[in-house]
């Protein structure tokens, strides 16, 4: 089997992920080990009000070199997470909560190191972001449960409350009951870990699962 050096392998990864960006489930961004953004989806670029990864890197440097502001704190926090991944080689999940036009937008970021299997060197990081949107959750549930009904019938059929939707969304992304409780309380849904577990038991009944783990089983 032909083994690629680090430069060749990283270039191949960038090309592959860049192609995925035209699809809904493509990566949000790719960074090299110096934290330069090489590939970025439109949503990431729009956040900085730029059009290209090169412009994003310039904007990021300008913010970090400037005075304290909310964006600078977010970038510094993210950088510390990236450096941890580059050091340990362990993937990480984070949850970001942003208020947009008086609505809460919740993103789950899955950050994964890019490692050349030949050299075992960590070359960079790629991220996939999943936004909490009601239709997205329903599509995920349809896939996981192979529900034989149309998407627009699921809401009426299941009658999930907003709280149930959010709990299930976080649970499907492998967050623990305690983490779900913490995140939901942070955004105004005060709830204990025990109450989260009760909701999951009810969701088990709603979706006809014999146990909670079945909600996580792929089709």
Instruction: Establish if 177 belongs to a structural domain.
Output: yes
* Residues 114 and 139 placed together within one structural domain of the fold: no
Q: What pLDDT is recorded for position 125?
A: 95
User: Is 121 inside any structural domain?
Assistant: yes
Higher-pLDDT residue of 213, 52: 52
Residue-level pLDDT at 205: 78
Q: End-to-end distance of the chain based on CA atoms, in angstroms? A: 32
Q: What is the pLDDT of residue 196?
A: 92
Q: Is residue 1 part of a domain?
A: no
The domain spanning residue 69 has which CATH number? 3.30.450.20
d(CA 160, CA 24): 25
Give 171-203 pLDDT, tens digit per residue. 877 788 998 888 788 667 789 999 999 988 888
Residues 19 and 106 in one domain: yes
Whether residue 158 is found in the same domain as residue 61 = no
pLDDT of residue 105 exceeding 90: no
- Residues in the chain, total: 219
Q: What is the CATH number for 175?
A: 1.10.10
Examine residue 211 and state whether it is found in any structural domain, yes or no.
Answer: yes
Residue 214 has pLDDT above 80, yes or no: no
Q: Evaluate if residue 58 carries a pLDDT over 50.
A: yes
- Give the tens place of pLDDT for each residue, 18-31: 666 544 455 789 99
Pairing assessment for the beta strands 103-115 and 37-40 based on DSSP bridges: unpaired
Tell whether the model's pLDDT for residue 116 goes beyond 90.
yes
Q: Is residue 46 pLDDT above 50, yes or no?
A: yes
Task: Specify whether 64 is located in the same domain as 43.
Answer: yes
Give the residue from 78, 111, 131 where a domain finishes. 131
Q: Give the residue from 187, 205, 186, 185 showing the smallest Cα distance to 195.
A: 185
Domain final residue pick, 113, 131, 149: 131
- Residue 45 resides in a domain: yes
Q: What is the pTM of this model?
A: 0.61
- Expressed as residue numbers, the domain containing 113 is 6-131
Residue 181, H or E segment: helix 177-186
Query: Where among 106, 131, 156 does a domain terminate?
Result: 131
What is the domain count for the chain? 2
Specify whether 139 is located in the same domain as 124: no
Structure confidence at residue 212 as a pLDDT band (50, 70, 90): low
If DSSP codes are grouped into helix, strand and coil, which group holds residue 173?
coil
Pair (43, 65) in one structural domain: yes
Does one domain contain both 28 and 120?
yes
Q: Which residue's structure tokens are 């704190």?
A: 73
- Asked whether residue 186 is assigned to any structural domain, the reply reads yes
Structure letter (DSSP) for residue 188: T
Residue 27 lies in a domain: yes
- Residue 153's pLDDT band (boundaries 50, 70, 90)? very low
| Domain co-membership, 146 together with 157 | yes
Do residue 157 and residue 207 come from a single domain?
Answer: yes
For residues 29 and 124, state if they share a domain.
yes
Shared domain for 87 and 16, answered yes or no, is: yes
- Mark whether 144 and 84 lie in a shared domain: no
């Amino acid at each position: 089997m032909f083994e690629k050096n680090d430069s060749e392998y990283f270039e191949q990864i960038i090309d592959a992920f860049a192609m995925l960006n035209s699809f809904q489930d493509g990566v949000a961004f790719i960074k090299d080990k110096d934290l330069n953004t090489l590939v970025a989806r439109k949503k990431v670029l729009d956040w900085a009000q730029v059009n290209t990864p090169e412009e994003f890197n310039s904007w990021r440097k300008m913010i970090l070199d400037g005075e304290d502001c909310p964006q600078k704190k977010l970038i510094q926090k993210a950088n510390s997470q990236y450096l941890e991944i580059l050091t340990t080689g362990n993937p990480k999940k984070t949850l970001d909560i942003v208020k947009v036009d008086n609505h809460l937008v919740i993103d789950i970021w899955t950050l994964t190191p890019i490692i050349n299997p030949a050299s075992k060197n960590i070359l960079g990081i790629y991220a996939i972001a999943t936004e909490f949107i009601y239709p997205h959750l329903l599509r995920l549930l349809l896939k996981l449960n192979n529900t034989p009904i149309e998407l627009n019938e699921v809401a009426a059929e299941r009658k999930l409350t907003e709280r149930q939707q959010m709990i299930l969304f976080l649970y499907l992304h492998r967050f623990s009951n305690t983490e779900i409780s913490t995140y939901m309380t942070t955004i105004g849904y005060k709830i204990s870990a025990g109450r989260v577990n009760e909701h999951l038991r009810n969701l088990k009944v709603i979706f006809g699962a014999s146990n909670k783990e079945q909600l996580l089983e792929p089709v």
